[in-house]
Amino acid sequence: MIRLSVNVNKVATLRNARGGDFPGVLDAVQVILAAGAGGITVHPRADQRHIRPRDVREIAALMRSLQAPDVEYNIEGDPTPEWRELVHEVLPDQATLVPVRSGELTSEAGWDESSDAQAMKALVRELKGKGIRVSVFVDPRVSAVEWAAGVGADRVELYTGPFAVAFAAGSGRAERLFADHVLAAERAHALGLGINAGHDLDLLNLPLYRTLPHLSEVSIGHALIGRALFTGLGAVVAEYLAALRTPTANPG
C-alpha cells in the first residue's frame, strides 16, 4: 500500500489569517490519522507563513503519544541552520530536503546535479546519524536521481508539479511527463533508493500516478485540504486512500 502523508500547512494558513489557534492544526492531525492516513507532513518556512516551530513540536509530541509505529512524521524544508536545529530537536521519522527560491509561493523545482554535492553529503550524514530517514526532493530526471544517490539519500521525492499541470490541461503531455517519472523511479530503485512523490497530486491525477513503479509514499496537502472545505476532512482522507488502492477514483 502506498503511504498517504497529509501536508497540514494549509490548515495553519487558515488559522494564521485571523490569528489565534482556530482552526487547530492538532485537531486536523487527529482527524487525518483517525481516518487512516499513514503520515503527517509539515513544511516550516523561515517566514512562518503557515506551519510554525511550535506546531512542529506539538505535532511531534502528539504523534509520540499515539504510539502508532505505522504512522510517520515527515518534516520538509530548506536545510537552513534553524530548520536543522528544529529537526534535530524533534527527530521525525523522515526529513525531506527541499530547495527554496526567493519569493516562491510553493516549491518550484528539486535539487539537481549542479547542487553542491559535498555540502549535501555532510547534511545527509548528519541527519542519518540522528536516526532520521532522509529524502531528497528532485526533478524527475535520471541524472538528478543519481546525484541524490551519490549524496547518500535514503529516498527521493519526485517533483510532480509539471505533471499535474499537464494533466489538468488534458493534453498528452502528461503521459509523456509520466514516462520521465517512470524512468527516474526505475533508476532510483536500481540504486537502492525509496521513492516518494509530491506536489499538486489530486484525486484526478492519482489514478495514473499511483501506477508509478516502486512508489512508497505520496505527500498531498493543498488539493486535499481544499476539498475538505466542502466534503469534510475525514471523508476526503478516505477518498484519497481509496484512490491509492484502486485504478479509478470519482472526485464527485
Number of domains in the chain: 1
CATH code of the domain covering residue 160: 3.20.20.70
- Cβ atoms 156, 98 nearer than 8 A: no
Which residue in the block uniquely carries the three cell numbers 499513514? Answer: 38
Cα separation, 82 vs 48, in Å, equals 12
Q: Is position 252 within any domain?
A: no
- Cβ atoms 25, 14 nearer than 8 A: no
**5-14, 65-74, 151-160, 175-184: least confident range:** 65-74
pLDDT at 248: 46
* 111-124 confidence digits (pLDDT tens): 888 778 899 999 99
- Residue 90: domain span: 3-245
Query: What rounded mean pLDDT belongs to the chain?
Result: 92
Q: Is position 251 within any domain?
A: no
Q: Is position 231 within any domain?
A: yes
Q: Is position 92 within any domain?
A: yes
Amino acid letter at 233?
A: L
Q: Is position 143 within any domain?
A: yes
Q: By percentage, how much of the chain surpasses pLDDT 70? A: 94
- Cβ atoms 41, 8 nearer than 8 A: yes
Reported pTM = 0.92
**42 bridge partner residues:** 75
* 74-126 confidence digits (pLDDT tens): 999 999 999 999 999 999 999 999 987 655 455 566 788 877 889 999 999 99
Q: Is position 111 within any domain?
A: yes
pLDDT at 152: 97
The better pLDDT of the pair 250, 155 is held by 155
Q: Catalytic residue numbers?
A: 43, 76, 199
